[in-house]
Structure 1
Amino acid sequence: MKRIIHILTIVLAFYRFADAQGYKNPVISGFHPDPSVCRVGNDYYLVTSSFEYFPGVPVFHSKDLINWTKIGHCLTRPSQLKLDKCGSSAGIYAPTIRYHEGRFYMVTTNVSAGGNFYVHTDDPAGEWSQPIFVEQGGIDPTLYFEDGKSYFISNGKGITISEIDLKTGKRLTESKIVWGGTGGRYPESPHLYKKDGWYYMLISEGGTEYGHKMTIARSRSIYGPYDSNPANPILTHINENAQSNPIQGTGHGDFVQAHDGSWWVVFLGFRPQSLLHHVLGRETFLAPVRWDTNAWPVINGNGTVDLDMKVPTLPLKPVKQPDYSTSFNESKLGVDWVYLRNPFIKYYSLTEKKGSLRLKSSPITLDEHDSPTFVGRRQEHIDFSATTLLSLKNATEDDQAGITAYYSPQAHYDLFLKKSKDGKHKVFLNYKMGVLNHLANEVEIPGDHVYLQVKGDKDFYSFYYSIDGKEFKFLNKINVWYLSSETNGGFTGVLLGLYAQSKNKNTKAYGDFDEFIYKPTL
């Protein structure tokens, strides 16, 4: 009988492997850091950080942990998310998503306004509740539920836990520090799991950079003491065996047990591309976990991961290939589009010209920690092109509208249309790099409409314009370095944005954008 069971186990393992032969990392590309995941039946839901962008906390859905579809955002109303004049890489940090008694909870920190809070919903693709704030300091909070009790965990001077009233957020017990990590700096991103009678506390250490790592401890009691895994860290690319890996900065993860019983971890990392600079931001990666009874979890065998993961997976459930382009024919912008901080909606219209996005010039510029007239989508590929058709109306020499490769107020490359004093229209290319503003090129065009194009590769952003949309003329190129996290600091990635701004506070100018075409290139 044992021999038959053994044979059946081998056969089932073979079919599982044959059914799904691996996947490519990252599973969610571009600026999507600090992933957290939960499972409901055969469905998986994932959230990531959003910082100064609105709406906040994108929500993804998957059937296989590999193919993800963005279905909405948790924070879609200014009453949920106050970002007024917040700094770059401020705002919303490190969310966690959990499912409890038929309801989804997303807990996070607004470091610019209010601190730790959570929202809830019965439909993760729909509207979420108003925030419920918790008076426990630190960042990177998570929720844990057991035996009718709700626990709130965050990091401050150490990993801290308290019991709360889930309806009100009020603490029912004093906050207690239960673990300080293994000695790495910035112990953060705690997540708690219970398995085989053990409470496992997963955290990250080392800072969200090249020294990032994931460590774990366990206890028989939720309040500790927690004993560190002798094999820590369980995930890192700081060691020699991963020094040349194209994925770096791995950490800040969340475990999930799949519906077939297997364990997985989602986590962040980044892909250096030019002299070890990265501009896509921190992305979402996936790895298998071996977690035997009463044992410590082991990630992908040796605690490292690859772009090409040749491992058995869940049966793959492919989703519709994303359409990266936008025709602006819908009544509202799609879920890939975000604003800088809380937008002034009066400057945006999808109805005043059918099939166009109208952006009305604002006296707030891209150089400010404010909300300029700007909508953008994440750059998701190292090699890409982004093209838009722009018409500029009611403009004077004080007005401009165009496309920008945007990292922060101190770092953005702008390709824009502007009217000169003599009434002629010109295309300008300007680089903002810290205190340096460099006008790289200007070209006169025959009318008030033009195609503007940005292309990216491993080393450069290149800029083009066209009158007919067929023949594009090269303007200039510049290194990617000056839009990188290594140059500017911060935790975000480059967005490709459409914008309109003016030096005149009484401006009546606007730009009509008739399309936005984003294409990954090989």
Structure 2
Amino acid sequence: MRGAVAAALLLAGPVAAAEARFDWFEYQGRDPAGAAAGNGEYRNPILTGFYPDPSITRVGGDYYLVTSTFAYFPGLPVFHSRDLVNWTQIGNAIDRPTQLDFSGLGLSRAVFAPDITWKDGTFYILNTCVDCGGNYVITARDPAGPWSDPVWIREVDGIDPAFFFDDDGRAYLLNNGPPDEPPRYDGHRAIWMQEFDLAAMRPIGPRKVLINGGVDILTKPVWIEGPHILKKDGWYYLVCAEGGTSVNHSQVVLRSRHVWGPYEPYAGNPILTQRHLPEDRPDPVTSAGHADLVDTPSGAWWATFLATRPYAGDFYNTGRETFLLPVTWKDGWPVILEGDAVIPQVHPRPGLPPSPAAPDGQGREAFDGGELGPHWMTLRTPRDRWHRLSEGALSLEARAEPLGGKGQPSYLGRRQQHTHAVASTRVDFDPAREGDRAGLAALQSEDFFYLLSVGRQGGRRVVQLERRAGAGDPPHGVVLASAPLPETGAVDLRIEARGGRYDFAYATRPGRWTSLVQGADGTILSTRTAGGFVGVTFGLYAYAPES
């Protein structure tokens, strides 16, 4: 498997001499005590951390899944499974700087909810690059890649495009777009459909609104989106998210005998939501929706969907995650959860041959291979080579691109996947001037992050903690604490997440940790505070101001 970050960043030109050397990176995580999965069971979520908007397709006995990544690069991770529970990342669909350009975008823009499908030996991903081109399609014969350059679908506005391939060979493109009337209220959207010519890679014929507003426009439903059509027993089922992607998120279904409708809603809608449950329930799962349904070779049905696991109220730092539940057919309608049902932490596994358990992302990475794994990401699209792997270390060029800007900084990160997590690293860096810094960040967006780094203050080499808690703070935030360091030698850095609190420590001798700050406010790293659609990443970073 090719390491997409390494392939993308190994561009022309050597890495400059002014650099920070990271000997290793280690991640350990756990979640508050809950039910453990026993024999024949699995535990939700099936993809922990910032893996939202899952789309799934089946080819024989193989399942493939993609999720959103917004302005992180590489984008659109592609996963494979044979049992719907254990997923292995096999690549990234956006792994070349020439495919898309995220330059200057906020971290929650760029690639929104993707849709993956397969037909006649070709895989298709439909997607929207928000503020960077609009709707497009990419293709691959092998889902591990390479994926093609985008073919732009300029005729279709809106977001969340998806394909439906009918039995007669026709293809249709669905998406969320503005209604065909003046909006009646904030969040008034519509689901559109148009036939699509796969050979010419363009929409054909008229577009038609399939849903205006939602299942009942009189109730002013907001953000009907994420449409998918499935066909079963002569019925066309239109499955969509409704209510927005926060606590009022839900999944609804409508059906018709004809692909163009009219579509009638299920009387028991929504078929999935947690918005009606008490806020003070133990171990809550919230914001459930944006589901995609898939069948197994034996005819069973399952749904992947996004949801969140708050540590308090609506505060969560791990982002929107991917969950799995079975679909029950009730009087000809697909139902994921009914009534007051709570999304279970543990559930019986699908009746499928088990896949090998994928690496859980925990442990130490020694940087002794030739490339980084596909789970490593940077911010926006790289245009220069600024990192290298050599002699058992990862070296980052210290460049004049701050974390708090909208450029492409020397930052490589991976997701925080647990409510309680520890990220640590060893960095060897000689800050030549005031403003030079290199270290470890907990980053939610360009406006909200903590940075624990080796830098220089008043002529002395120091370890320092900076916090950016909004766009009004300086690009590297404000210094919360600092301590002197020896002028030479590697320094170990550690960030520990404890729900809504983060601790920061350093060591000049292995294992001899000194606390720099304890109990810092971690809610600034939540979507509730920072806004947007991403979760926290822990990352390695180097910076030097312009001479």
TM-score (norm 1): 0.89
2:500 to 459, 462, 474: 459
CA distance in 2 between counterparts of 1:243 and 1:297 reads 29
1:501 aligns with 2:543: yes
How far off its partner does 1:427 sit? 0.2
1:120 aligns with 2:120: no
How far off its partner does 1:167 sit? 3.2
**SS where residue 174 of structure 1 aligns?**
strand
The CA deviation string for residues 149-182 of structure 1, in whole angstroms up to 9 with x for no partner, is 2111101121101111213332211111111222
**SS where residue 205 of structure 2 aligns?**
coil
Contact 1:109 1:141 (C-alpha < 8 Å) held by counterparts:
yes
CA distance in 1 between counterparts of 2:340 and 2:169 reads 35
Q: Counterpart of 1:23?
A: 42
Contact 1:337 1:377 (C-alpha < 8 Å) held by counterparts:
yes
Aligned pairs (5 A) from 1:248-287: 248-287=286-325
The CA deviation string for residues 184-216 of structure 1, in whole angstroms up to 9 with x for no partner, is 201000001011111100001111000000001
1:62 aligns with 2:104: no
Contact 2:492 2:508 (C-alpha < 8 Å) held by counterparts:
yes
How far off its partner does 1:479 sit? 1.9
1:326 aligns with 2:326: no
Q: Counterpart of 1:388?
A: 425
1:169 aligns with 2:169: no
CA distance in 2 between counterparts of 1:421 and 1:356 reads 30
How far off its partner does 1:394 sit? 6.2
1:470 aligns with 2:511: yes
Q: Counterpart of 1:145?
A: 165
CA distance in 2 between counterparts of 1:275 and 1:448 reads 43
Q: Counterpart of 2:183?
A: none
CA distance in 2 between counterparts of 1:415 and 1:203 reads 42
Contact 1:214 1:235 (C-alpha < 8 Å) held by counterparts:
yes
How far off its partner does 1:270 sit? 0.6
Aligned pairs (5 A) from 1:313-392: 313-315=350-352, 316-324=354-362, 325-351=364-390, 354-392=391-429
Contact 1:237 1:249 (C-alpha < 8 Å) held by counterparts:
yes
- Give the stretch that moved more between structures: 45-54 or 435-444: 435-444
CA distance in 2 between counterparts of 1:459 and 1:500 reads 26
Contact 1:236 1:303 (C-alpha < 8 Å) held by counterparts:
no
Aligned pairs (5 A) from 1:169-188: 169-180=201-212, 181-182=214-215, 183=217, 184-188=221-225
CA distance in 2 between counterparts of 1:240 and 1:462 reads 33
Supply the AA of the counterpart residue of 2:81: S
CA distance in 2 between counterparts of 1:124 and 1:439 reads 45
How far off its partner does 1:88 sit? 2.6
**SS where residue 206 of structure 2 aligns?**
coil
**SS where residue 173 of structure 1 aligns?**
strand
The CA deviation string for residues 273-312 of structure 1, in whole angstroms up to 9 with x for no partner, is 13431111100001111125x6011114547443423335
Query: Which consecutive residues of structure 1, in runs of 5 or more, have no partner in the other structure?
Result: 1-18, 507-522
- Give the stretch that moved more between structures: 376-385 or 267-276: 267-276
1:438 aligns with 2:470: no
How far off its partner does 1:318 sit? 3.5
How far off its partner does 1:345 sit? 3.2
Contact 2:74 2:377 (C-alpha < 8 Å) held by counterparts:
yes
For the structure 1 residues 241 and 196, does the alpha-carbon distance in structure 2 shift closer, same or farther, using more than 3 Å as the test? farther
Contact 1:402 1:414 (C-alpha < 8 Å) held by counterparts:
yes
**SS where residue 486 of structure 1 aligns?**
helix
Q: Counterpart of 1:104?
A: 123
Contact 2:242 2:249 (C-alpha < 8 Å) held by counterparts:
yes
1:484 to 519, 526, 544: 526
The CA deviation string for residues 427-454 of structure 1, in whole angstroms up to 9 with x for no partner, is 0011110124432211111124200001
Q: Counterpart of 1:190?
A: 227
For the structure 1 residues 81 and 304, does the alpha-carbon distance in structure 2 shift closer, same or farther, using more than 3 Å as the test? farther
Supply the AA of the counterpart residue of 1:149: R
- Give the stretch that moved more between structures: 224-233 or 429-438: 429-438
How far off its partner does 1:112 sit? 1.8
Contact 2:431 2:437 (C-alpha < 8 Å) held by counterparts:
no
For the structure 1 residues 242 and 476, does the alpha-carbon distance in structure 2 shift closer, same or farther, using more than 3 Å as the test? closer
**SS where residue 418 of structure 2 aligns?**
coil
**SS where residue 49 of structure 2 aligns?**
coil
Contact 2:271 2:337 (C-alpha < 8 Å) held by counterparts:
no
CA distance in 1 between counterparts of 2:490 and 2:147 reads 41
- Give the stretch that moved more between structures: 304-313 or 375-384: 304-313
For the structure 1 residues 300 and 211, does the alpha-carbon distance in structure 2 shift closer, same or farther, using more than 3 Å as the test? closer
Whose relative contact order is higher, 1 or 2, with alpha carbons under 8 Å and at least 6 apart? Answer: 2
Contact 2:277 2:340 (C-alpha < 8 Å) held by counterparts:
no
TM-score (norm 2): 0.85
CA distance in 2 between counterparts of 1:376 and 1:391 reads 18
- Give the stretch that moved more between structures: 269-278 or 83-92: 269-278
Supply the AA of the counterpart residue of 2:527: S
**SS where residue 481 of structure 1 aligns?**
helix
Supply the AA of the counterpart residue of 2:507: S
For the structure 1 residues 40 and 367, does the alpha-carbon distance in structure 2 shift closer, same or farther, using more than 3 Å as the test? same
Q: Counterpart of 1:8?
A: none
CA distance in 2 between counterparts of 1:164 and 1:388 reads 49
CA distance in 2 between counterparts of 1:121 and 1:305 reads 38
2:101 to 71, 82, 91: 82
Supply the AA of the counterpart residue of 1:333: L
- Give the stretch that moved more between structures: 52-61 or 237-246: 237-246
CA distance in 1 between counterparts of 2:528 and 2:418 reads 18
Supply the AA of the counterpart residue of 1:443: A
The CA deviation string for residues 469-502 of structure 1, in whole angstroms up to 9 with x for no partner, is 2111111131211111001110000000111112
For the structure 1 residues 50 and 306, does the alpha-carbon distance in structure 2 shift closer, same or farther, using more than 3 Å as the test? same
1:238 to 259, 266, 275: 275
Sequence identity (%): 37
For the structure 1 residues 37 and 243, does the alpha-carbon distance in structure 2 shift closer, same or farther, using more than 3 Å as the test? farther
Contact 2:231 2:237 (C-alpha < 8 Å) held by counterparts:
yes
For the structure 1 residues 209 and 320, does the alpha-carbon distance in structure 2 shift closer, same or farther, using more than 3 Å as the test? closer
For the structure 1 residues 335 and 51, does the alpha-carbon distance in structure 2 shift closer, same or farther, using more than 3 Å as the test? same
Q: Work out the number of aligned pairs and report it.
A: 483
